[in-house]
A and B are shown apart, each in its own frame.
Chain A
Amino acid sequence: MATVERTRAVSEDTVDLIVNGETHTVRVEPQWTLQYVLSEKLGLTGTKEFCGEGACGACTVIMDGRPVLSCMMLAVECGGRPIETVEGIARSNHPLIDAYIKHSCMQCGFCTPGFVVTAKALLDRNPDPTVDDIKEAMVGNLCRCGTYPAHIKAIQEAAAVLRGGGSRG
């Protein structure tokens, strides 16, 4: 039988989370994940928890320019590091959003923000990805509804728009 101290000994830390260009000074407990703080404390509920153990990509955010799984990051590790969430990508009117709507990349939609963030990170580092590049980048994002084929089309289209080869219409 597990035993736990009757009084929870919790030390709180303060971190400056730089999310979508804004700094949030947040008091966090050491075991809190970045995903938990983003969704529960900052109200950025687009960063979803699906598997909760780094197996599905639904909680992906971009940190220091790379896609990371926010359910596998402790919030206390993330102070001072630029974090981009799906809300920030949407606010910047990134062409991925229109492309995702046009190609109907969502069904239940719960995993969709994680795909958008992973795709944004791909396009940031590779403006002209091949289909294989896209598959390799997106293979860590799980979708139970099986929307995968639509994402490839949408990412290719958004890439073309970013390169100036297409319209956002």
Chain B
Amino acid sequence: MDDTQRQRMLESFDNKRADKYPLEEFQSIGKRGVRRTDGYEKATGAAKYTVDVNLPGMLFGRFLTSPYPHAEIVSMDTSEAEKYPGVRAVLRYDDPELPEGASLGGHELNNVAPLSRVAHWHGEELGAFVCADSEEIAEQALKLIRVEWAQRPFNLDILKARETGAPLTNPEDNPAGNLDAGGLYVEGHGDVEKGFAEADKIIEFSYSMGQNTWIGPERPCGVWRWNGEFAEVWVKQQRPHICKRAISMWFDGLTMNKIDLHCLYQGASFGGWSQMAWNLGGTYCAAVVSRRTGRPVKWLFSRREDFYGGEMDAGTFYFKVGAKLDGTITAVEQRGVVANQSMLVFGIAKHLMDNMKIPHVRGITEGVWVNKGPNVPTRCEQNLNSYAVNLVTNQVAEALGLDPVEVALKNDGAEGHDIEWLNERKAELGFPTRDSLRECVEKGKAAIGWDEKRHAAGAKRLPNGRMHGLAFTWTHEWDDSAGTSEVAMYVERNDGTVTILGCRADGGQNAETSYAQVAADELGVPVEQVRFKHQEDAGFYTMTPDTSTNLSVNAWAVRHSARLLKQKLLEAAVAPRGVTQLASFPPAFPGKRADELDIKDGVIFEKADPSNRMTVADFVGPSGAQGPLMSPIGEPILAGKEGLDYPIRFTPPMFEDAYQIQRGTYLGVRLRFCRQAHFMEVEVDPETGEVDITKIVTVNDVGKVINWDGCEGQAYGGAIMGAGRGHTEEVVHDPRTGIMLNGNLLNYKIPTLMDVGDIETIMVETGMGYGPYGSIGIGEDVATVVPALLAPAIHNALGVWIEGFPATPDRVLKALGRA
């Protein structure tokens, strides 16, 4: 690699600018019909998940759970459980080997008790971990544990919990009160009072959000096996890199190189449970029991236990908005009280600043703890921001008699500046100056029939007696591009296929295929010849779908690595093929320079004379012994020393590695250029409050499509998940007992194939993303932005605003004053 090439590599890390060195020609990138690399395994049931791991002699571990929303264990008798046939170990909270705290994974390192004595919500795992020959025996044995509980006062209501003198909901973590210690988040710019004074109209409204949750199809689980002093661990986790780092700190320091981690296919968690501080608690307990019993241990949560916890949008919110008569928004003040945010409280007015020209914004978010499970980013923490953009845009439009699309376009911008200012920044950074929002809304309006179908609120009754509603929302794409990615890549001997190494969790986004496409097109090999081995710990960790990032970091690392590997191949092709005690062997392309060669379709060739060619497979040669008499395949290459004419291969290993480090796209780091716009059509029954979502149109500016199936799958899949979250999904607790009432899939309603009507997914490619080739990820976005569409859609149908989500029939009837 010469200085120019090295400089280009370094410039690629400058993730504030547009991609300066995109490919001139794409082979598989952006083409339809690329076969997904996990397709056959998943379609045939061959794909293995952690819950499928079944090792010889394996024990199954389950946890005691709290029957109360707030209680502590005074004493516990496990003797009957220990005697139950088939039980091999009962680990107790007071076991001397259990530390008071250990780093138990999640989004960050932390310090949490692996087996707690105190429960702060109904169903919390605590007290005892029973391991038996089967899960069923463990479950039966749990019923034999006699616990003396001391019940404590509990509180499920965030507004009551924040009152002075309210009983403490978690005195262990928050002894001074129920306000989250790190939980006051203040943000904004300008002076909102000045903005309100400039406004022609002041609009005030509020809403509340019930708690929705992730529903991982694969139950939370993990497996631990000691192989002598080496630990072999299977994790159902989105962040295997954090898991291994945490595990290496256990037991007075397991060294990193003694831990073998497997991260099999993931039965999805959407961030969710995978973010929680205690999500390796089971793994810690399994490790202890595995060492005592000499047997592998699999721990599992029950289906119901997967429901304890949720998305971090549960709360109540108040808005005051000032606007000019033409729809120009002059100021927004937003206050929110949110529940149980077990990571740092996230701002709720970010999108109003990130992608709007509103000069005066103020957001205050208060975090309060109640006796329910922890709430974490679940596809994703920007939900409340998406609600804010939606409701502010649509409420202003309604109050002023304007089209919400026009209100959006009028207020599009960034950090208080207008779109012209933003376009200047795009140009400065090397991006095209496309009007992303306008392109998105034009396509979306045409697809939904906006201009033809739009009507005044409550004005269109359908022949079936239902009221017709049409709605629009928008915001920016927020692939946050934060994190570190490492990958390695090598050419396999014998056949020249390419393997990518980099441990990551597969969440089903078809990401591995996308990375294979990047590697293939950069290297000049067919995409079918590239495989990403992502499930094994090979010492390289890529970003998984976490920290709102996936492709926009990993694909850089893949691209760096592929470009280095290609350069290595070309340089090796013109260099002597190694020196041994016998001789130096002649180059594959004698007398040529590396820059005179190229690779395409797996063939190295001379650009000026493509007939001078050699396949990559032939070039790298066979594996194993390559010396005389031992190499039966391939054409002979003469050793170059008189008298030696046996076949011989000698090329160095074609292996390279690369990495990418990026800061996130948060305010002040990078501006948001790409936009998304979504449209929903509903029919609402004013008698029953029932809402029928008949059509959703999603439009995403993805910058550049790498993989169509991946982009479209995230869009329509997100639309369906979002529709469920906005419409039917809510975890309900009994206010008298604090007990969760619907922790199962019969009573917690996720959408079926018949619950959402037609979905049309449209991709816009402006090239304004910070990822390679101008791409930007959209995996979180649609599922997060679509839920709030229910509010303006119902308003357009009925002429009333619902004041709470999800938009269940009772809330719709309440808005109509009929419940």
- A residues contacting B by CB (< 8 A) are 1-4, 6-8, 31, 39-40, 43-48, 50-53, 55-56, 58, 85-87, 89-90, 96-97, 100-102, 104-113, 116, 135, 138-142, 144-152
Contact among B39, B718, B751 for A106, CB-based, below 8 A: B39
CA distance A64 to B136 in the complex (A): 29
11 CB < 8 A contacts A-B: A31-B136, A104-B713, A107-B717, A110-B265, A112-B43, A138-B753, A141-B753, A142-B745, A144-B268, A146-B721, A149-B759
CA distance A2 to B217 in the complex (A): 30
Report if A146-B42 is in contact (Cβ < 8 Å); known contacts: A52-B303, A56-B745, A135-B754.
no
Smallest CB-CB separation from B143: which chain A residue?
Answer: A2
Does B146 sit within 8 A of A, measured CB to CB? yes
CA distance A4 to B137 in the complex (A): 12
- Residue of B38, B85, B507, B713 ringed by the most chain A CB atoms within 10 A: B713
Does B750 sit within 8 A of A, measured CB to CB? yes
- B residues contacting A by CB (< 8 A) are 33, 35-36, 38-49, 52, 54, 80, 83-86, 136-137, 140, 143-144, 146, 214-218, 265-268, 270, 303, 506-510, 709, 713, 716-721, 744-746, 750-754, 756, 759, 783
Q: Distance in Å from the Cβ of B263 to the closest Cβ of chain A? A: 13
Q: Are B745 and A46 in contact (CB under 8 A)?
A: no
User: Residues of A contacting B44 with CB < 8 Å?
Assistant: 46, 86-87, 89-90, 97, 113, 116
Q: Distance in Å from the Cβ of A38 to the closest Cβ of chain B? A: 10
Q: Distance in Å from the Cβ of A131 to the closest Cβ of chain B? A: 11
Report if A53-B744 is in contact (Cβ < 8 Å); known contacts: A4-B84, A112-B42, A144-B750.
yes
- Residue of A45, A51, A107, A146 ringed by the most chain B CB atoms within 10 A: A146
Smallest CB-CB separation from B754: which chain A residue?
Answer: A139
User: Residues of A contacting B40 with CB < 8 Å?
Assistant: 97, 101
User: Residues of B contacting A104 with CB < 8 Å?
Assistant: 36, 39, 510, 709, 713
Q: Distance in Å from the Cβ of A92 to the closest Cβ of chain B? A: 11
Contact among A8, A86, A144 for B217, CB-based, below 8 A: A144
Q: Are A109 and B140 in contact (CB under 8 A)?
A: no
User: Residues of B contacting A4 with CB < 8 Å?
Assistant: 84, 140, 143-144
Smallest CB-CB separation from A58: which chain B residue?
Answer: B217
User: Residues of B contacting A109 with CB < 8 Å?
Assistant: 38, 41-42, 47, 265, 508
Q: Distance in Å from the Cβ of A14 to the closest Cβ of chain B? A: 18
Q: Are A8 and B86 in contact (CB under 8 A)?
A: yes
Smallest CB-CB separation from B35: which chain A residue?
Answer: A101
Smallest CB-CB separation from A150: which chain B residue?
Answer: B713
Q: Are B217 and A108 in contact (CB under 8 A)?
A: yes
Q: Distance in Å from the Cβ of B235 to the closest Cβ of chain A? A: 15
Contact among B52, B216, B719 for A45, CB-based, below 8 A: B52
Q: Distance in Å from the Cβ of A88 to the closest Cβ of chain B? A: 10
CA distance A152 to B720 in the complex (A): 15
- Residue of A48, A101, A144 ringed by the most chain B CB atoms within 10 A: A144
Contact among B36, B218, B718, B754 for A101, CB-based, below 8 A: B36
User: Residues of A contacting B270 with CB < 8 Å?
Assistant: 144
Smallest CB-CB separation from B34: which chain A residue?
Answer: A104
Contact among B43, B146, B267 for A108, CB-based, below 8 A: B267
Q: Are A147 and B144 in contact (CB under 8 A)?
A: no
Q: Distance in Å from the Cβ of B663 to the closest Cβ of chain A? A: 29
User: Residues of A contacting B759 with CB < 8 Å?
Assistant: 149
User: Residues of B contacting A43 with CB < 8 Å?
Assistant: 54
